[in-house]
Amino acid sequence: MSENKTPLVEVKNLKQYFDVSVGMFKSLPLKAVDDVSFTINKGETLGLVGESGCGKTTVGRTILHLYKPTAGEVWYDGEKIGDKKSLQEFRKKATMVFQDPYSSLNPRMTVADIIAEPLDVHKMYDSPKERRERILELMGYVGLNSEHASRYAHEFSGGQRQRIGIARSLALNPGFVVCDEPVSALDVSIQAQVINMFDELQDKLGLTYLFIAHDLLVVRHISDRIAVMYLGHMVEMADAGEIYDNPLHPYSKSLISAVPVPDPKIARENKRIVLEGDIPSPLKAPTGCPFRTRCPHATEACAQSMPELKDMGGGHMVACHRIDEIA
């Protein structure tokens, strides 16, 4: 866990809209990410949580410019990412671990070639011997043996395939890694091993993570701070312990109340907060606060404007018009 307060990644007013066809020659903007801003400090893990479809993965991919941002800025280590040269350098320093270890690895390539693909693209070695040594070093980081190098991805279990993907993501010595639900496709018994490996790699290599997940227990274990998203907007952000012990936004309260508690006595006393209605379509998002259609505290004023993130003390940021009344 990091005590460093030096910003490494700064996201400012990021927007990602997709045009969706809704009929003959007509399209509507799907606002997957709508005006999101946050900072990740060096050596820190920021957990990003929310229901499926809230825009978590799109945030990660847009930061890495796998999707070209509709609007907003991404800064890395004090430099704005924009032109081709800065993006090319950024691609060496920032990388991604994908959600599905079954579809993110090329079945026609050996493990050695999969891991070495970033090295080949950026020509980061002088000889085949140096390339081979780097592959074996990366395999050692993630607990794979040298004899695995000549095998193919389909010969491995889900957990081992994800380790191959993690080794590939570390090939260029990145400083920043976007982890897009990296354990959600794995068995629970394997999840803990992979999460612990992320922790060890962070200590060993000085990595900074954006850790995207919907499993709140996993996020709490690995994150320094947690940000909560709803329908393309950031609604709350605070230290991991603070979000769990003292959620302030009505949506965060509902999410935390759904986390299973291993103690039966405490579990019986905990009251589950069940939200009414379904998440609105991002194509027809509500005006004003996006959560107002499901919020028990919503008033007419909530339909007028999107609330801004407000610091409630100690860096606990909440976007809610009525937070002073309901907190």
How large a percentage of the chain has pLDDT more than 90?
Answer: 63
Tens of pLDDT, residue by residue over 212-229, are 998 888 898 899 999 999
pLDDT over threshold 60, residue 159? yes
Per-residue model confidence (pLDDT) at position 286: 87
Residue at 2 is within a domain: no
Residue at 1 is within a domain: no
**Could you give the CA distance from residue 125 to residue 247 in angstroms, rounded to a whole number?**
49
259: amino acid identity, one letter: V
Q: Name the token pair of 282.
A: 């991002």
- Angle CA 85–86–92, to nearest 5: 100
Per-residue model confidence (pLDDT) at position 101: 83
Per-residue model confidence (pLDDT) at position 248: 93
Per-residue model confidence (pLDDT) at position 52: 86
Residue at 143 is within a domain: yes
Q: Please, which pLDDT band fits residue 117 given cuts at 50, 70 and 90? A: very high
pLDDT over threshold 60, residue 3? no
Residue at 214 is within a domain: yes
Per-residue model confidence (pLDDT) at position 59: 96
Tens of pLDDT, residue by residue over 19-44, are 988 888 888 889 999 999 999 999 99
Nearest to 216 by CA among 207, 229, 205, 206: 229
pLDDT over threshold 70, residue 174? yes
Per-residue model confidence (pLDDT) at position 4: 63
CB atoms within 10 A of CB 140: 12
Per-residue model confidence (pLDDT) at position 108: 92
pLDDT over threshold 70, residue 307? yes
pLDDT over threshold 80, residue 50? yes
How many C-alpha atoms does 274 have within 13 Å on its Cβ side? 2
Average pLDDT over residues 304-320: 92
Average pLDDT over residues 171-185: 93
Residue at 310 is within a domain: yes
Q: What is the helix, strand, coil percentage profile of the chain, to 5?
A: 35, 25, 40
**Of 118-132, 272-286, 301-315, the least confident:** 272-286
Residue at 16 is within a domain: yes
Q: Name the token pair of 133.
A: 């040594």
Range of the domain at 159: 7-326
When divided into structural domains, the chain yields a total of 1
Q: What does pLDDT average to over the chain?
A: 90
Per-residue model confidence (pLDDT) at position 266: 66
Per-residue model confidence (pLDDT) at position 170: 96
pLDDT over threshold 90, residue 324? no
pLDDT over threshold 70, residue 157? yes
Helical H runs in the chain?
Answer: 56-63, 84-93, 111-121, 128-141, 158-169, 188-205, 216-222, 240-245, 250-257, 264-269, 323-326
Domain with 62 in it: what CATH number?
3.40.50.300
pLDDT over threshold 80, residue 278? no
- Higher confidence at residue 282 or residue 304? 304
Q: Please, which pLDDT band fits residue 274 given cuts at 50, 70 and 90? A: confident
Per-residue model confidence (pLDDT) at position 267: 62
pLDDT over threshold 80, residue 272? no
Per-residue model confidence (pLDDT) at position 319: 93
